[in-house]
Amino acid sequence: MLNKVVCVALPGMAPFEFGVVCEVFGIDRSDCGGPRFDFTIVAAEPGPIRTKLGFDIVVRDGLDAAADADLVVIPAYLGVDICDEVTTGAHPEILRLVRDAEARGAWVLSVCSGAFLLGEAGLLDGRRSTTHWMYTDTLAERFPATTVDADVLFVEDRRVVTGAGTAAGIDAALHIVRRELGASMANNIARRMVVPPQRDGGQSQFIQLPAATPNDSLAGVTEWMLQHLDQEQTVDQLARTALMSPRTFARRFRAELGTTPTAWLNRQRLLRAQQLLEESELSLEVIAGDTGFGTASVMRHHFVKVLQTTPMAYRRTFGSRTDQRELLNVD
């Protein structure tokens, strides 16, 4: 049973991610039928802990208070060399704390860059994991024994949960509450926080996909492709536009842009569809036609496959607020 929850305060921790942990586990909601956790904040060196934004949080309890915790949480912090920060390595006693927690079967949760501390402790070895999409490549390079999933909001692997960036910490924390105490308790917390109890999709929908720029030899044809997204584009047709044989065109395209013409085209169509969903009130069928997907159902297939969300859900999250009546329709 999930009862005692300990959050480890770290130098350089991000206040929002730290606050998420405190909000989910630190508030007594028993007055409205919700849970009440034995929540404690600890530090390797109690006292003032400087946050990422430059102000201090005073922590009174040391790591001994976490010895019997049911859940140990590591929030996001700037203790790793991402975003041009210099790593000094995690405090050895904190590494021991999370190793001991995992060994006795307690839950261990990291939010965003907190995954790097779990990696340093060896907890991610042989497990799936995630972190903020900006850092997934770095996590995979530094800890090759873990399988990093860049597309999800959180990963649970044998009671070790890694959350993606910022607000995904809410999803990861509520997931643990749901697993331990049931959906009603997780829903109770979510309702009080005014957040969805369980979000659909993954963090792929938040990644800004780059539009690769080719060398001069293909610049003309890729510009033509972008200007005619609504038209069918075959490799033979594109090769004629580029004055190359289909085989030479396909080989050079992959060499310069790192992917096939079809995959690149689908990516640009997806980018354009995202832009139209964000900035316009066009119907899904019109957007699908304008971007070359043909029908809304085909566009929906590509959104779910690549972004792990539907076009309607994407518009609901990122679109203007002038089309709320349309958003009431079923995806």
**C-alpha to C-alpha distance for 160 and 156, rounded to whole angstroms:** 6
> What integer pLDDT is reported at residue 80 of this predicted model?
53
> What integer pLDDT is reported at residue 13 of this predicted model?
94
Residue in 39, 42, 38 with CA at minimum distance from that of residue 8: 42
φ and ψ of 326, to 5 deg: -70, -30
> What integer pLDDT is reported at residue 320 of this predicted model?
63
pTM: 0.68
Sorted by where each begins, the domain ranges of the chain are 4-203, 216-327
> What integer pLDDT is reported at residue 196 of this predicted model?
73
Yes or no: is domain 216-327 CATH 1.10.10.60?
yes
Q: What is the pLDDT along the chain (331 residues), one digit of tens a residue?
A: 899 999 999 999 999 999 999 999 999 999 999 999 999 999 999 999 999 999 999 999 999 999 999 999 999 998 655 544 434 478 999 999 999 999 999 999 999 999 999 999 999 999 999 999 889 999 999 999 999 998 888 999 999 999 998 889 999 999 999 889 988 898 889 888 988 776 766 666 565 554 545 555 688 888 899 889 999 999 999 999 889 999 999 988 888 877 889 988 998 899 899 889 988 899 999 999 999 999 999 999 999 988 888 999 888 877 765 444 444 444 4
> What integer pLDDT is reported at residue 87 of this predicted model?
45
CB-CB contact of 314 with 277 (8 Å): yes
| Contacts of 120 by beta carbon, 8 Å cutoff, 6+ apart | 89, 90, 95
Domains 4-203 and 216-327 agree in fold: no
| Contacts of 270 by beta carbon, 8 Å cutoff, 6+ apart | 209, 291, 302, 303, 306, 307
Selected from 3.30.750.24, 3.65.10.10, 3.40.50.880, 3.40.50.620, the CATH number assigned to the domain covering 4-203 reads: 3.40.50.880
> What integer pLDDT is reported at residue 122 of this predicted model?
97
- Look up tokens 């910022």; give the residue: 166
Residue in 95, 172, 89 with CA at minimum distance from that of residue 132: 172
CB-CB contact of 287 with 183 (8 Å): no
